[in-house]
Amino acid sequence: MNLFRNQYNQYNMFRTIVIIHTLMILFLLSSSLCAQQAPQTLLTTISDLTEEIEAEVISWRRDFHQHPELSNREYRTAGIVAEHLRSLGMEVQTGVAKTGVVGLLRGPEDGPVIALRADMDALPITEETGLPFASTVTTTFQGEVVGVMHACGHDLHTSSLMGVATVLAGIRDQLPGSVKFIFQPAEEGAFDYDVWGAKLMVQEGVLENPRPDAIFGMHVWPFTTGTIAYNGGAIMASVDNFNITIKGSGGHAAAPWETNDPIIVASKVVSGLQTLVSRNAELTKGAAVVSVGSIRGGNRHNIIPDEVELLGTIRTHNEETRKMIHERLKTFVHNTAEAFGTQAEIAIDRLYPAVINNSDLVNSMLPVIRESVGHDNVQEMYPLMIAEDFSYYANEIPAMFYMLGTLPHDNAGSVEPIHSPRFDVDEAAISTAVRTMSYLAVEALYLFKDQ
């Protein structure tokens, strides 16, 4: 019995040793797969350089904020960007997609190419922040005099990427490849053009000569300063606008039987459009929204008009749902109009596709992002229903778009959303923006160098 017990104990000890060794091997393998590629000494240098230029980047941000320019009118901004990139010894293109600027920082090796993108345009909003560097700019937009304001953080995006350019130019001799800097106009839309912004930049070859292996972009968001938020798939929605015109026959409101009332049809259409999502979209595959933002028709209490116009938006997180909603919307509206003896004209303007991150690229970058901001300051986020034309780059090459927290830690009041006349960012987030984007560029160069 003792002999058996000793053999059994030896077997248990051997099994325990095997399990421990197996777990150690698995741990080492997982660590090697998740470990950052870039040398720690290079990241330390980036962090030091970021600290050195922080004040300069803040001054750039305040200058851009005080002198905002609308889409495709970013002449002053583009000029400052181009001059800065040239001062760093880059190859610079201007006038890309109207007012865009592209700089190429070549490293000593003929290796991979990583692209970094920032948007430069402002919005037709009159600023109410009370900042000492608040915008007082006005301009004519769609026939009206309007204020102009950086109410979406593009001033921080542009200045931060200029900072990244400074940092990476300072270590160019240590880069295992090249970095392409894309300063893009008209992310907010250019209503006097058929094609604008990222789509036009892609059409004009921004992703060629040389072609990047991957691209990174970011956007400010009201997470706590120092936070980076990400998603491994869809992070922003597609956006399409629709115009629906219901044509009937009007008359006196006291005798509706003598008319084909387009207002009744419009009301049926507005309520019925909601079933396109609630009864047709498979929401486990991604969210979808159909909203009507405007109804126009009639001008008197007692007159039924001939026409009613509906304006609205469609947002989805995948192309399958997007296509389905377009088709069902047209069928539903036409059939509803016909049922009431009216006619419908429908126009759907396809704008930006959904921003869908490359999951492999995101997973590869998470370790270096944690290195930049700390493990506890990296969080996975739900996809948003707003849109971004960064999607046009992500449709072409592996891409990662992420959110930069710009909400002060001591914030105790209400949060002003983007596109508010009172929107502002915490400038303490600028160092995070520069350091993290620089880390990502270098990490990706080493990643693609080894592939």
Q: 386-418 pLDDT, tens per residue?
A: 999 999 999 999 999 999 999 998 886 678 999
240 pLDDT above the threshold of 60: yes
CA angle centred on 435, ends 431 and 440, rounded to 5°: 150
Would you state the pLDDT for residue 30? Answer: 44
Mean pLDDT over residues 182-211, rounded? 95
Kindly report whether the peptide bond that precedes residue 210 is cis, defined as omega within 30 degrees of 0. Answer: yes
In a domain, 160, yes or no: yes
Instruction: Kindly state the tokens that stand for 450.
Output: 């080894």
Q: At which of 350, 378, 398 does a domain end?
A: 350
Give the tens place of pLDDT for each residue, 241-288: 999 999 999 999 999 999 999 999 999 999 999 999 999 999 999 999
Domain shared by 81 and 219, yes or no: yes
126 backbone dihedrals φ, ψ, rounded to 5°: -85, 120
% helix, strand, coil for the chain, step of 5? 40, 25, 35
User: Residue 401 — φ and ψ, nearest 5°?
Assistant: -115, 135
What is the distance between the alpha carbons of residues 186 and 237, in angstroms, rounded to a whole number? 18
Instruction: Report the distance separating Cα 119 and Cα 188, nearest Å.
Output: 9
187 is catalytic: yes
**Secondary structure E strands in 210-277:** 214-224, 228-230, 234-236, 238-247, 251-252
- Give the Cα separation of 118 and 239 in Å (integer): 20
Q: Report CA-CA distances (Å) from 164 to 13, 51, 277, 440.
A: 55, 12, 42, 10
Helix (H) or strand (E) holding 290: strand 288-296
* Under 8 Å between Cβ of 357 and 232: yes
Instruction: Give yes or no: residues 276 and 153 share one domain.
Output: no
The Cβ of residue 317 has, within 10 Å, a number of other Cβ atoms equal to 26
115 and 185 co-located in one domain: yes
Q: pLDDT tens digits for 134-168?
A: 999 999 998 999 999 999 999 999 999 999 999 99
Say if residues 105 and 90 touch (Cβ distance below 8 Å).
Answer: yes
Position 361 in a domain: yes
Within 10 angstroms of residue 190's Cβ, the number of other Cβ atoms is: 20
3-state SS class at 240:
strand
**Average of per-residue pLDDT values in the chain:** 93
Alpha carbons 284 and 161: distance in angstroms, whole number: 36
pLDDT confidence of residue 22: 47
Q: Using alpha carbons, select from 175, 123, 172 the residue that is nearest to residue 151.
A: 123
Catalytic residue among 74, 187, 240, 424: 187
The CATH number of residue 295's host domain is 3.30.70.360
Position 191 scores a pLDDT of 79
| pLDDT given at position 235 | 98
Alpha-carbon gap, residue 442 to 450, rounded angstroms: 13
**Could you confirm whether 51 is annotated as catalytic?**
no
Q: The domain that contains 436 carries what CATH number? A: 3.40.630.10
The C-alpha angle with vertex 300 and arms to 299 and 301, in degrees rounded to 5, equals 140
Is the domain of 378 the same as that of 431? Answer: yes
pLDDT at 215: 99
Instruction: Return the pLDDT at 6.
Output: 53
What's the token pair of residue 393? 């780059």
Count of structural domains within the chain: 2
**Two structure tokens written together for 270:** 């507005």
In a domain, 217, yes or no: yes
* Interval 18-76: pLDDT, tens: 454 544 444 444 444 456 789 999 999 999 999 999 999 999 999 999 999 999 999 99
Tell me, yes or no, whether 35 lies in a domain. Answer: no
Question: Are 156 and 206 part of one and the same domain?
Answer: yes
Query: Is the domain of 120 the same as that of 249?
Result: no
Residue 91 and residue 176 share a domain? yes
Catalytic residue among 69, 74, 119, 121: 121
Do 298 and 368 fall within a single domain?
no
Q: Are residues 119 and 226 in the same domain?
A: yes
Q: Concatenated DSSP letters for 296-355?
A: E---STTEE-SEEEEEEEEEESSHHHHHHHHHHHHHHHHHHHHHTT-EEEEEEEE-PPPE
Q: What is the pLDDT of residue 326?
A: 98
Which stretch of 218-232, 374-388, 413-427 has the lowest confidence by average pLDDT? 413-427
Residue 4 clears pLDDT 80, i.e. is over it = no
**How wide is the angle at C-alpha 64 spanned by C-alphas 157 and 229, nearest 5°?**
20
Cα–Cα distance measured from residue 313 to residue 357, given in angstroms and rounded to the nearest whole number: 23
Q: How far apart are CA 66 and CA 200, in angstroms?
A: 27
Residue 339 shares a structural domain with residue 371: no
Contact present, 290 and 329 (Cβ < 8 Å): yes
Flag the least confident range among 8-17, 52-61, 238-247, 356-365: 8-17
Q: Are strands 178-184 and 113-119 parallel, antiparallel or unpaired?
A: parallel
Range of the domain at 93: 40-235+354-449
Higher pLDDT, 123 or 1: 123
The verdict on 376 and 437 lying in the same domain is yes
Beta strands in 26-166 (DSSP E): 91-96, 100-105, 113-119, 138-141, 144-147
In this model, does residue 309 exceed pLDDT 70? yes
